[in-house]
Structure 1
Amino acid sequence: MTIHIYGIRHCDTMKKAFAWLNAQGLPYDFHDYKKSGVDLADLQRWAALWGWEALINRKGTTWRRLPESARDCPDAASAFALMMAHPSLIRRPILIRADKCLLGFDAEGWQAFFQGGA
């Protein structure tokens, strides 16, 4: 079963996720949404799972560098537009295997995810 991982290659959290997958011997396809962008359909699908608020990385430098007025996301449509314009705002990694998904990296959570036959 193919594993798809979405994120930004040089992000520290992504490096941990890649290292974890490699240590487990799990092959994966990587989508760098900073280089390749992100589709609105993907953002909508992920928002249906976790809520659009959870998709925004408010701890990163991209968020802090935005003008205060740009940070005002009153609804999903404005948040999606902001994330598509600034893909670094999307929380990462997003891992998809079959029809199951994970948001963020937590080694114990990932271990449980893969042991559960996801």
Structure 2
Amino acid sequence: MTTLFGIKNCDTIKKARNWLTAQNIEFTFHDYRKDGLEAEWLNKAEQALGWEQMLNKRGTTFRQLSDEQKQNINKDNAMKLMLEHPAMIKRPILFHKDSYFIGFKPDQYSEVFA
């Protein structure tokens, strides 16, 4: 089973969804905002990808944190923040054949589905 995780209105998500559809790959889309986010899933993804890879420091939500919060970021508080504010998670995260992949590049997806 293939699942794409992210936020519906994200441009990168749209590109990934379009690519998967164009390749006739069946997938489920899990929207963090609409469908929610479970700590169990976040922990599994973090174990596979690492919290530093998952944390979106370029996004508005992260930039709105206080300087103290940004300077004292560690695994525990990053995980808590991502659970509270899913927009802080880099997108998309693809789950395919028991593996997680982060971001979208057509070449990477071609390799994953080869």
Q: Same fold (TM over 0.5)?
A: yes
Gapped runs of 5+ residues in structure 1? none
Runs of 4+ in 1 over 6 A off after TM superposition: none
Report deviation, 1:66: 2.3
| Equivalent residue number for residue 95 of structure 1 | 94
In 2, the alpha carbon distance for the partners of 1:113 and 1:5 equals 13
Contact 2:49–2:101 under 8 Å retained in 1: no
Q: Is the partner of 2:9 in helix, strand or coil?
A: coil
- Note the aligned Cα RMSD (angstroms): 1.4
Supply the AA of the counterpart residue of 2:88.
L
Deviation at 1:73, TM superposition (A): 4.7
Q: Which residue in 1 is equivalent to 2:57?
A: 58
1:20-39 matches, within 5 Å, as 20-39=19-38
Of the structure 1 ranges 70-79 and 101-110, higher mean CA displacement relative to structure 2 is found in 70-79
User: Is 1:43 the counterpart of 2:38 in the alignment?
Assistant: no
Would the aligned equivalents of 1:73 and 1:79 in 2 still touch at CA under 8 Å? no
**3-state DSSP class of the match of 1:16?**
helix
Residue identity matched to 1:17:
A
Once the two structures are overlaid, the 10-residue window that deviates more, 69-78 or 83-92, is 69-78
Report how far residue 91 of structure 1 moved: 0.7
Tell me if the contact between 1:37 and 1:84 (Cα under 8 Å) persists in the aligned partners: no
| TM-score, scaled relative to structure 1 | 0.88
Task: Work out which structure has the larger RCO, using CA pairs closer than 8 Å and 6 or more positions apart in sequence.
Answer: 2
